[in-house]
Structure 1
Amino acid sequence: MVELLAPAGNAEAFAAALSSGADAVYLGGRQFGARAYAANFSDEELAATVRTAHLMGVAVYVTVNTLVDNSEIPALADYLRHLYEIGVDAAIVQDIGVVAVARRVVPGLPLHASTQMTVHNLAGVEALAGLGISRVVLARELSLDAIRHICAHAPVEIETFIHGALCISYSGQCLMSSMIGGRSGNRGRCAQPCRLPYNLVDAGGRDALAGRDAGEYLLSPKDFNTIEHIPDLIDAGVVSFKIEGRMKRAEYVAVVVDSYRRAIDACLADRSGFAVPDQDQKNMAQTFNRGFTSAYLFGKQGREIMSDRRPNNRGVRIGRVIGYDPRNKTAQIKLDEPLAVGDIVEFWVKVGGRSSATVTSINVDGRPVAVAPPLAVASIPVDGAVRPGDRVFKTFDAALMEKARAAFGGGILRRVPVDAVAEAGEGRPLTVTLTDDDGNSGSGRTSFLAEKAVKRPLTEETLAAQIGRLGTTVFALRRLDSRIEGEVMVPLSELNEARRQAVEELEAARLARYSRPSLSAKAPDLAIFLPGPRRDHARKPALTVNTDTVDKAAAAAASGADIIMFGGESFAGRAPTPDDYRRVVAMARERGLAVILSTPRIVQDWQWPALEADLDLFRSLAPDAVAAANLGTLHRLSRDNGLAVHADWPLNIYNSAALRVFAAKGLASLTLSPELTFGQVEELAAEPNIAIECIVHGRLTLMISEYCVMGSYLGGLHAGVCTKPCLKGRYLLKDRLGETFPVAGDQFCRMHILNAKELSMLPHVPRLARSGVARLRIEGKASAADDLARTTRLYRELLDRGEDHPLLAGDGIKAVEHQDITRGHYFRGVL
């Protein structure tokens, strides 16, 4: 069984999904969902939606896939209970803390791991299976071979995206919207900064792409489209095929779901003859596209994955302008595709950008027409001037939208076929029995005993007309077996009541398989998920400095660091060598410092052998801990009794419930999410069972991506081989406001976009020292060694002298901080 999973951002899209053949629908309530700006569903609407879907045999998954603050946990528990009680088939979750709360509050509610959990290796799937997750949605950066490997060995179901918008960053690993505007993607409020214009500039501020064929939307990917590869994905073992689009209009849902429904069915029926009709691709492109791509299914495509000239719907190209009459303001278009009155077109004007026009009239060969065919020259009125040679795109196809809306415009039009048996005889009640294809049945009978007819005997036509009146239900009458003995009369009101009873019984029978044991009237105690009392601590926090080169580690060690963190992704362009690790550990030991050795943030399964080799080395070096930044690596390390484990900040530890899950696994320490406020940090720091670290300084990574803007536009990556421009110069992305975001490539050719502003908590070190956190961390990978040494010394002095440090008097801090600093979310928080 292959499940086709459709999005529904509102009731219309839900109707479109069901009418077009979805096996399951995912949607969000008014809270805890990663599409907070969709219309979404109230609690009452959710209940009605789930009931309707279940009557049609369609599953409903509800998104609970945001990070949750401690203060929201009681409301979360109530919401989860509601989802369980209304029969939601599964909750889609991101936060490990939410998993823990759900397992306690609603242990019978299945949980699916959102793509926001950044699961990109088999070990991550295994980790989540151990936490009770029944399905994992894989990261969209995986190749078909990687998906196949995971599916072949996964202990739970695997779901993948097959169509729709792509994030340029690994989902769950993007802080760009959060840090720029306070709208957190991890909290469901992404402002999509990836769809804004950027210039790639060099260290001198010069346009690095000048004279090259490149647009300005350098972080805007095309839309995912895998319809041609459905057979491969089925063969790979994927259980659920997910279409992105909870922010899309219902017509989009109708067209895309219908296309994939027919593709999946055709493949299952006849793999050898599988082919996707060209019209299906055109229809999907017409409803919405930024250009289509297979993303990473078959390897990195460089710039070919990007929609760098347009971040929104480009429509379908239908021809070129061959003439313009300025007097009548009409454009003549040589058509490659049909054009109709009511369509909307956009001209890609060579001078002045783009202009659009609604087609109010069309003339072909001097005659008005409603539809102009391909190859015709169509003359249409336009408001703005266009030029010969300008390309023309249709962004709205009136006929296609009308056809799509006809599929759901009156509600859910796909029906469950039922067969009816009606029996009647003089002196007996009339009975109506409805049976569906699954063997479920329902019966109704009249209170009235059939009488001998005097004028109008009951006929099969009358029975069919009355029993077939199922328009307000999900059923449609397919066949009627009429068993009438003699000429009898039954009032139509009685017949309608028998039909109503039969429908009610059949509905109950169809819903029976979704029934669950009732929850206890007494809600579980949530105290284990809530923080303990806050208190000031006299213990001075240790100072951690995170580095990627030996010279930076040496600078930090000589300048007052207590803990050297080293390794993982390197912004120096080459991987740390075994000798580098040995030198750093030896240096730390000589100075009496602790040392944490890092593993990569992203570890796809093809990287696993190299990671195992590193872990063998680490065991011999006996560091104080090994840092893991993804669930798979954490799972692997938690089974290794020879190494203490540190959970790093990309694991998005945001609340006490998540913190205690990690503490229960015996971890030595963890770094909190950088999206937390000072108050939230202080609250979490009360946890006594694990050492808490927070990041206080440095340029945070806002995105990590398999796409690299430097390799794609300067290195020829799309041609198959990258010339590694990242090793030859320093590059930044400059936004429309003039902010510049440093871009770093690591040893795995992944791109890291760093914050334009440097986090600095220098003025607040005394408060941090009292907060109870065990460690303050400086992110030093993006710093030069001498700058890192200076920063480390400042924090060392402030920790040692506290409120008495002269920098804290007057304008002392201003003298040591540059202009481009930020306090991050410590005081402003996130939406």
Structure 2
Amino acid sequence: LGNTLFRLSYVDIPDGPYMWPASVLNALRRDAVTALETALITHHVESWQALQVTGDVDYDFKVQHELSYDTCPMISARVDEIEGVKAAISGGAQKIVFGGDRLSRIPYALSIYDEVARLCAQSDVICTFATPRVVKDDEVEAYKHTLEAIVQAHPDSISIHVPQALLWLRELGYTGAIEADTGLNIFNTPTLHFWEQLHISCVNPSQELTLKQITELAKHSHVPIETMIHGYTEMMISEYCAIASFVGTGSKVNCPMPCVKESYSLKDRKGEIFPIRTDPYCRMHIMNSHEMDMRAYVPMLLQKGISILRVDGRHMKPSYVKDIVSQYVGIATGTMEAPPKKIDSQGESITRGHYFRGIL
């Protein structure tokens, strides 16, 4: 069925001396797809209207407790390993964002969430657990076991990347704080206000926004704005795995998981190297070839109304996480001078993301 949403299950053609012109078949296909789309949309609208009539759906039920950010501005760290958590806390991070898209093929043991929550509580650090940016329909039930472990660990908040996570959390009886992360692609004020009506505690808008656009968003926000300021941004998430195709079996089925033994990258026609990482769902994450570094602009970012500056340490060694976090803490608190606005101290090229070069 081409690029439609549907897949042909079977064809039933009656026996007989019939001829089926291509034009008739194409018309049948178009009519069928249109009818199916209409039926799906109608069913969706009627289902939600029925829920609203019975009172089962309202905006207030989503978040019953909000998280108060009294110590902003602050430095947060997104990590996906216990050692990264310890390093970020040691470096002075006031908020830990853990989980979600783990850049490792090996899944977590569910007990890890209790351990992370305990480490954060011992250091009086905000503990935020994240959901993945992609959860397919056939993965939802399996993922709910992870989400249940997250809820039972009693974090300070849960950061969501997909709207459906609100319903999953409701089913699990979660009543704590919820934060809106980059996967929700919050790009403008109306979208920001929509999520604010759901009583979210923090917003991490689209990474494609410029500093000017983020500043405008911050002016109209009633909750803290958090943005990534250091680390390797994800360029793409793909079900296709280049590693399996070239050094594996050519398929994800019975793959020997070479990704857990060696590191792999893609090289483009300009010679740029893009690291590849895989996650527990066997998806490929293509990382930026250059590390984002906004240390030189920390004073400006804080002045523009960005309350929480996030270091993405998932691609870093623990020692580097500690060092980078401590530098941002020092610059933000005024105990360290910001570096010049050019190449970093090691002489390697860096990127400023979309802060000064947007897509619009």
TM-score above 0.5: yes
- Long gaps (5+) in structure 2: 13-21, 34-69
SS at match of 2:194: helix
Instruction: Give per-residue Cα distances to partners, 1:90-121, cap 9 Å, x unaligned.
Output: xxxxxxxxxxxxxxxxxxxxxxxxxxxxxxxx
**Structure 1: 4+ residue segments shifted above 6 A:** 265-268
2:317 aligns with: 784
Say if 1:701 and 1:752, in contact at 8 Å, map to a contact too: yes
Aligned residues: 314
Q: Is 1:264 paired with 2:29?
A: yes
* Alpha-carbon separation, structure 1, partners of 2:332 and 2:304: 13
8 Å Cα contact 1:556-1:792 kept in structure 2: yes
2:190 aligned residue: 657
Residue 77 of structure 2 corresponds to: 545
For 2:300, what is the secondary structure of its paired residue?
Answer: helix
Match of 1:558 in 2: 90
With over 3 angstroms needed to count, the CA separation of the structure-2 counterparts of 1:735 and 1:539, relative to structure 1, is: same
Tell me which amino acid in the other structure corresponds to 1:261. N
Tell me which residue corresponds to 2:359.
Answer: 830
Conserved? CA contact 1:563–1:595, under 8 Å: yes
Distance change (3 Å), C-alpha of 1:817 and 1:823: farther
Matched residues in 1 for 2:280 and 2:235: separation? 18
Query: Is contact 2:161-2:184 (8 Å) kept?
Result: yes
Q: Helix, strand or coil: the match of 1:747?
A: coil
* 2-structure distance, mates of 1:225, 1:647: 28
Partner of 1:626: 158
Higher normalized contact order (CA 8 Å, seq sep 6+, divided by chain length): 2
1:796-811 paired onto structure 2 within 5 Å = 796-801=329-334, 805-808=336-339, 811=340
Q: Contact (CA 8 Å) 2:296, 2:341: kept in 1 or not?
A: no
Would you say 1:597 and 2:129 are equivalent positions?
yes
Is it true that 1:745 corresponds to 2:303 in the alignment? no
Alignment pair present for 1:689 and 2:222: yes
| Alpha-carbon contact 1:231-1:267 (below 8 Å) kept | no
Q: Tell me what 1:706 maps to.
A: 239
Query: Which is strand-richer, 1 or 2?
Result: 1
CA distance in 1, matches of 2:180, 2:226: 10
Kindly state the Cα deviation for residue 818 of structure 1 after the two structures are TM-superposed.
4.6
Structure 1 residue 567, shift from structure 2 partner: 0.8
The whole-number CA distance in structure 2 between the counterparts of 1:230 and 1:659 is: 39
Rounded Cα–Cα distance in structure 1 between residues aligned with 2:252 and 2:122: 48
Q: Aligned partner of 1:615: which letter?
A: L
Q: Deviations over 1:722-754 (max 9, x none)?
A: 111111100000000000100001011000000
- Please, which of 794, 807, 816 is the counterpart of residue 327 of structure 2? 794
Match of residue 8 from structure 2: 230
Q: Which moved more, 1:584-593 or 1:608-617?
A: 608-617
User: Which stretch shows the higher mean deviation, 615-624 or 747-756?
Assistant: 615-624
Change in 2 beyond 3 A, CA 1:731/1:690: same
Structure 1 length normalisation: TM-score?
A: 0.36
> Identity rate of aligned residues, in percent?
29
Query: How far apart, CA to CA, are the structure 2 residues paired with 1:542 and 1:823?
Result: 20
Report the AA paired with residue 2 of structure 2: H
Consecutive unaligned residues of structure 1, counting only runs of 5 or more, are 1-161, 165-223, 235-256, 269-537
Q: What amino acid does structure 1 have at the position aligned with 2:29?
A: I
Q: Which residue of 2 aligns with 1:724?
A: 257
3-state DSSP class of the match of 1:261?
Answer: helix
| Matched residue type, 2:26 | R
Corresponding residue SS for 1:578: coil
Q: Secondary structure at the match of 2:274?
A: strand
For 1:217-616, what aligned pairs fall within 5 Å after superposition? 230-232=8-10, 258=23, 261=26, 264=29, 540-616=72-148
1:806 partner SS = coil
Whole-Å Cα distance in 2 between the matches of residues 705 and 671 of structure 1? 22
| 1:596 partner SS | strand
The amino acid of 1:823's aligned partner reads: R
2:133–2:161 contact (8 Å) kept in structure 1: yes
Structure 2 counterpart of 1:806, one-letter code: E
| Post-superposition offset of 1:807 | 4.0
C-alpha distance in 2 between matches for 1:687 and 1:816: 36
Residue type of the partner of 2:353?
A: G
Query: What is the CA–CA distance in structure 1 between the aligned matches of 2:114 and 2:241, rounded to whole Å?
Result: 31
Give 1:267 deviation, angstroms.
Answer: 9.5
Distance 1:233 1:692 in 2: 53
| Separation (CA, whole Å) in 1 of partners of 2:343 and 2:309 | 21
Residue 597 of structure 1 aligns to a residue whose secondary structure is strand
Letter of the 2:97 partner, please give it. M
Name the residue aligned to 2:61: none
Is this contact kept in 1: 2:77–2:88, CA < 8 A?
yes
C-alpha distance in structure 1 between counterparts of 2:5 and 2:95, whole Å: 47
- Matching residue of 1:715: 248
Q: CA deviation at 1:609?
A: 2.4
1: distance between equivalents of 2:282 and 2:195?
30
Alignment-derived partner of residue 267 in structure 2: 734
Tell me how far apart the structure 2 counterparts of residues 232 and 644 of structure 1 sit (CA, whole Å): 47
Rate the CA distance shift 1:660–1:699 in 2: closer, same or farther, 3 A. same
* Cα distance in 2 for residues equivalent to 1:750 and 1:609: 18
Write the deviation string for residues 664-704 of structure 1: whole angstroms up to 9, x where unpaired: 11112121111111111111112342221111111111100
Distance 1:727 1:262, change over 3 A: same
Match of 1:673 in 2: 206
Alpha-carbon separation, structure 2, partners of 1:551 and 1:633: 27
- Does the C-alpha gap of structure 1 residues 767 and 259 become closer, same or farther in structure 2, counting only changes over 3 Å? farther
Whether the 8 Å contact between 2:344 and 2:350 is mirrored in structure 1 is: no
Pairwise CA distance, 1:265: 8.6
**2:39 counterpart residue number:** none
Task: Name the CA distance, whole Å, in 1 between partners of 2:135 and 2:129.
Answer: 15
